[in-house]
Chain A
Amino acid sequence: MSSARLQLPPRIVEGDVFKLRLLVNHPMDSGFLRDIDGVLIKRNVIRQLSCTLNNQEVFRAEPTTGIAANPLFEFYLRAVKSGELYFRWVDDKANIGEMRHPLVVQLANSSSSPKP
């Protein structure tokens, strides 16, 4: 079981291409290292991580042992409309991690832009 942190820009306007930062808590054990007692730590890495928005997969990573522990993934999305971001990841032991986060996309002529 693992958790994650997500960082989005504070304000996203329709048409923006914005950056998402996702930090997942996972040891990404490569299977090559030993613990302090000399016992081999078995391989267990996230094999697949996806981001779905409004029922469409908008990002996918398929990492291997070559991605560092507590993996950081930063990628971009075009802001079309509001919805829910759904992140899901699976590791070698078939543990599933999930996170949902609302995505608020303001219209280009929203009230938060300066009035004419």
Chain B
Amino acid sequence: MKSLLLWSLAMGLMWSNVSAQQRHIPLDQLQSGLAFSSPEVRGLQLDDDFASPSAHAIDKGAQLWKQVTGSNNKSCASCHGEANDSMKGAATRYPAIDKATGKLFNLEDRIRNCRSKQQKASNWPLESDELLAITLHVTGASKGMPILVSIDGPAKKHFEAGQKLYMARQGQMNLSCTQCHDQHYGQRLYNDKLSQGHPNGYPIFRLDWQYMASLERRLRFCYASVKAEVPPWGHQDMRNLNLYLMWRAQGLPIEVPAVRK
């Protein structure tokens, strides 16, 4: 009986370790969504900086970075100087735990937090043009840098929750993320070629929406597409899933400004 208990304990530990580290797509087989996009979409992202569909968000982001605001009369630049220097690598590390509150912040949450706590300015709502633009500006500093998020310590439980969401079937269509994005990437669902579902291009310009979009918006759309209940903006599940996705995409370079269909 004791040996049976020990045996089950050992098996349990082994399995939990495996599931924590299990990568359905090995690191050397990771492919950005760009690899699954049409030549036109690739061209829009890579060929021409001037006419990038994100052009205006880029200009706006640079302008907002320098805008003095709030009762503290500071701009982002007042404390952080040039984003290209101070924000280098930031986008590769988020979502991350905020030391002050212990919460898991995605990049947008971090920016909003700074705006209310440090600048004491009125906050930009999630998915607002301003927040998209400034997030794009901050992400720009990490262009080409490999994703590397921490899933240790206080982040661990968020990672595990995110993984659980990723693996679970949901919605009326009863599909899980892993079914499409691990098992069937490269194949077609209706007219769409399935990608591996990586978050390395966000905030993205999505042709279908003809607009800049955050990862949160994209994930909510995924939920809607499988006819699952869409979580409200700012929901913890979206941040947990975001963390899992970033872990899963470890090593993929940040693409900015990215275009997808």
Q: Do chains A and B touch in the complex (CB under 8 A)?
A: yes
Q: Which residues of A contact B (CB under 8 A)?
A: 3, 5, 7, 21, 23, 25, 27-28, 36, 68-70, 72
Classify the interface of chain B: helix, strand, loop or mixed.
helix
Asked if A3 and B56 sit within 8 Å, CB to CB, the answer is yes
0 or 1 for each of B35-78: is its CB under 8 Å from A? (1 = yes) = 00000000000000011010110010000000000000000000
Question: Counting CB contacts under 8 A, is B191 at the interface?
Answer: no
- Distance in angstroms from B50 CB to nearest chain A CB is 5
Asked if B55 and A36 sit within 8 Å, CB to CB, the answer is no
Asked if A36 and B51 sit within 8 Å, CB to CB, the answer is no
- Distance in angstroms from A112 CB to nearest chain B CB is 24
- A-B contacts, CB under 8 A, total: 31
Classify the interface of chain A: helix, strand, loop or mixed.
loop
Which residues of B (189-229) have their CB < 8 Å from a CB of A?
210-211, 217, 220-221, 224
Known: A23-B51, A72-B51. A5 touches B210 (CB 8 A): no
0 or 1 for each of B146-166: is its CB under 8 Å from A? (1 = yes) = 000000000000000000000
- B53: which of A7, A21, A36, A70 is its contact (CB, 8 Å)? A70
Residue in B51, B53, B217 with the greatest tally of chain A CB atoms within 10 Å: B51
- Distance in angstroms from A66 CB to nearest chain B CB is 13
A residues within 8 A CB of B59? Answer: 3, 5
Closest to A2 in B: B56
Asked if A70 and B50 sit within 8 Å, CB to CB, the answer is no
Known: A36-B217, A36-B221. A27 touches B51 (CB 8 A): no
Asked if A23 and B221 sit within 8 Å, CB to CB, the answer is no
Complex alpha-carbon distance, A70 and B224, angstroms: 27
- Distance in angstroms from B9 CB to nearest chain A CB is 47
Asked if B50 and A23 sit within 8 Å, CB to CB, the answer is yes
Complex alpha-carbon distance, A70 and B59, angstroms: 13
